[in-house]
Amino acid sequence: MTQEIKLEEIFQSRIDNGEKIEPKDWMPEKYRKTHIRQISQHAHSEIVGMLPEGNWITRAPSLKRKCCLLAKVQDEAGHGLYLYSAAETLGITRDEMTEQLLSGKAKYSSIFNYPTLSWADIGAIGWLVDGAAIINQVMLTRTSFGPYARAMVRICKEESFHQRQGYEIMLGLAQGTQAQKDMAQDALNRFWWPSLMMFGPRDEDSPNTAQSMKWKIKRKTNDELRQQFIDITAPQADYLGLTIPDPALKWNEERGHYDYGEIDWEEFWQVVKGNGPCNKERIDARQKAWDDGEWVRDAAMAYANKKAANRNESKTGS
């Protein structure tokens, strides 16, 4: 018991000193569990996030845009891959994590439960959703768990590329015909509020924040990050000539920040609970890929085993 307390003290002081915790190091069980949960949910978000954007690959309006979108969605698969690997260092397998996603035990970012209804949504997602993700993830590049922090460094570079690409799509639309401008405005109208929800509940409704700060999973609160996002994004919308769908949005000279209107937290919790517009479609799509892929994964395994057996045989034979 005292031994355990001592270990925890040493552990915390390592984090306080800015040391990275590596998978083989001693860590409190709660630290391990929290990281498995957070990293796997982050990985699931990357993978589920492929679906709304993938929805427009076959209909992309030009060859160049199609290639950019394919490359982007492929990057997200790569992000999922690094993150699953980072979580695996804590003693869980990718298959177990997948099962948790499919059973609903593990969550993913709610933003991906909204549909992509026009090409402009691809621009809006890159601009707003990747933009919001970067704000969270830049913070995570300095988190205490080494594999997670390192994955984030790699991922953040690509996310900022996605963000610029998304903004560039929006810019093209904003400078285009009236139909294109309308499409862009409509996408902003639908994605603005869900993007703000990506930072999670208000600070007073976010009981884990203190512990997360201690472990450096978080360095700023949800509301601080949300404010940062709004402050960056509002002038960008102005530059595009688009209107953010919030009449209360206004620069506050005194605070040095934008004021903004109340988020619909009822909607937020409904989507988290599985009642968003596309929750079922997203999980069904992942379930189908998983089920359809089963015989393929089995075949690959059987083939690898045969090859290994052949190699062993030829070794003992010689």
Contacting residue, 35, 47, 56, 76, with Fe ion by CB under 5 A: 76
The CA distance from 53 to 69, in Å, is 8
The CA distance from 282 to 50, in Å, is 10
Q: Which of 99, 149, 118 is nearest to 283 (CA)?
A: 99
Instruction: Choose between 40 and 222: whose C-beta lies nearer to other proteins.
Output: 40
Instruction: Choose between 165 and 221: whose C-beta lies nearer to Fe ion.
Output: 165
44 part of the interface to Fe ion, by CB under 5 A: no
The CA distance from 198 to 109, in Å, is 7
Cβ of residue 117: shortest distance to other proteins, in angstroms?
13
133 part of the interface to Fe ion, by CB under 5 A: yes
- How does DSSP classify residue 203? G
Q: Which phi-psi region, left, alpha or beta, contains residue 257 (left: φ > 0; alpha: ψ -120 to 50)?
A: beta
Q: Tokens for 316, please give them.
A: 């003992």
Q: Tokens for 26, please give them.
A: 């001693």
Task: Give the x-and-dash track for 116-145 against other proteins (CB under 8 A).
Answer: ---x--------------------------
Instruction: Choose between 56 and 258: whose C-beta lies nearer to other proteins.
Output: 56
Residue 152, classed as helix, strand or coil, is helix
- Which residues, 229 to 288, sit near other proteins by CB under 8 A? 285, 288
Cβ of residue 148: shortest distance to other proteins, in angstroms?
18
The CA distance from 32 to 40, in Å, is 12
Residue 95, classed as helix, strand or coil, is helix
The CA distance from 70 to 80, in Å, is 16
Instruction: Choose between 77 and 308: whose C-beta lies nearer to Fe ion.
Output: 77
298 part of the interface to other proteins, by CB under 8 A: yes
Contacting residue, 7, 71, 153, 308, with other proteins by CB under 8 A: 71
- Interaction site with Fe ion (CB under 5 A): 46, 76, 79, 130, 133, 159, 162
- Interaction site with other proteins (CB under 8 A): 47, 50-51, 54, 57-67, 70-71, 73-74, 77-78, 80-81, 84, 119, 169, 172, 176-177, 179-180, 285, 288-289, 292-300, 302-303, 306
